[in-house]
């Protein structure tokens, strides 16, 4: 679900913003202290570099994806933190192909095989003003669980996406995509590793440009808990 302070009914989107519209009044949001859980994703906040994240592109049987190599950037940062940064990803639409995707991904092992009833996962994304918001691409976060170490033995997966349109996603604004209660199976599964992906996917709508870059930050993966992973501190960039 895309969490949104702008539209609570039609869209489940919530901008990770300092300014929210409450009763048509622009206000500064100040987060109250909340209990925190530890995200399992290595380098989830992209503080000083991209590793262990690596480029992800879709492969057959899905349409092959393409895009410039992802890169770490000191700005923008979802918290406006000068000591942190974000990842810049691209998808190329030079060859239009519905569901072709490009972004970043990583696989990581859990400290021990863990019974999973549900998963709380998500990421933040930001679309620069120079990227067309024409509905031809969708920002997507995806989680995949595996029974063995090293992402072997696929168990289940889920994803959340948001088409990038001018109506839904204002430019230069941090948004969060999240599912706080993904249930991988009717009964608990035992997982030893996970892969998390953040990417842009072609939707099938006609693209207005051939390269679509956006920024990604603050990846979340928590098992069996909906506890917030961090305070939502909102800063204008």
The answer to whether position 235 is within a domain reads no
Predicted confidence (pLDDT) per residue in 86-125, tens digit: 999 999 999 999 999 999 999 999 999 999 999 999 999 9
3-state secondary structure of 198: strand
The answer to whether position 158 is within a domain reads yes
**Domain range holding 83?**
34-223
Percent of the residues in the chain that have a pLDDT greater than 90, as a whole number? 78
**With contact defined as beta carbons under 8 Å apart, do 183 and 120 qualify?**
no
The answer to whether position 177 is within a domain reads yes
Predicted confidence (pLDDT) per residue in 151-183, tens digit: 999 999 999 999 999 999 999 999 999 999 999
The answer to whether position 146 is within a domain reads yes
The answer to whether position 20 is within a domain reads no
The model's pTM is 0.83
Pairing relationship of beta strands 19-22 and 134-148 according to DSSP bridges = unpaired
The answer to whether position 89 is within a domain reads yes
HSE (side-chain half, CA atoms, 13 Å) at 53: 33
Q: Look up the CATH number of the domain holding residue 134.
A: 2.60.120.260
Q: How far apart are CA 190 and CA 22, in angstroms?
A: 43
- The count of structural domains within the chain is 1
The answer to whether position 5 is within a domain reads no
**With contact defined as beta carbons under 8 Å apart, do 156 and 145 qualify?**
yes
Mean pLDDT score across all residues of the chain: 84
pLDDT of residue 226: 81
The answer to whether position 95 is within a domain reads yes
Percent of the residues in the chain that have a pLDDT greater than 70, as a whole number? 80
């Amino acid at each position: 679900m895309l969490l949104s302070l702008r539209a609570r009914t039609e869209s489940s989107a919530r901008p990770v913003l300092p300014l929210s519209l409450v009763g048509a009044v622009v206000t500064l949001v100040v987060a109250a202290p909340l209990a925190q859980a530890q995200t399992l994703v290595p380098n989830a906040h992209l503080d000083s570099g991209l590793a262990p994240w690596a480029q992800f592109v879709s492969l057959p049987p899905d349409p092959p994806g393409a895009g410039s190599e992802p890169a770490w950037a000191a700005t923008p940062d979802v918290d406006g933190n000068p000591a942190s940064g974000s990842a810049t990803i691209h998808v190329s639409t030079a060859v239009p192909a519905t569901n072709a995707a490009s972004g970043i991904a990583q696989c990581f092992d859990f400290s021990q095989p863990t019974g999973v009833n549900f998963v709380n996962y998500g990421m933040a994304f930001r679309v620069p003003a120079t990227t067309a918001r024409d509905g031809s691409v969708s920002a997507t976060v995806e989680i995949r669980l595996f029974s063995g170490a090293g992402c072997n033995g696929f168990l289940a997966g889920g994803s959340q996406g948001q088409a990038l349109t001018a109506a839904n996603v204002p430019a230069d604004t941090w948004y969060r995509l999240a599912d706080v209660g993904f249930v991988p199976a009717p009964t608990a599964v035992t997982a030893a590793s996970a892969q998390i992906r953040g990417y842009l996917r072609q939707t099938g709508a006609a693209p207005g440009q051939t390269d679509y870059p956006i920024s990604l930050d603050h990846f979340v993966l928590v098992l069996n808990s909906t506890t917030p992973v961090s305070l939502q501190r909102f800063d204008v960039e």
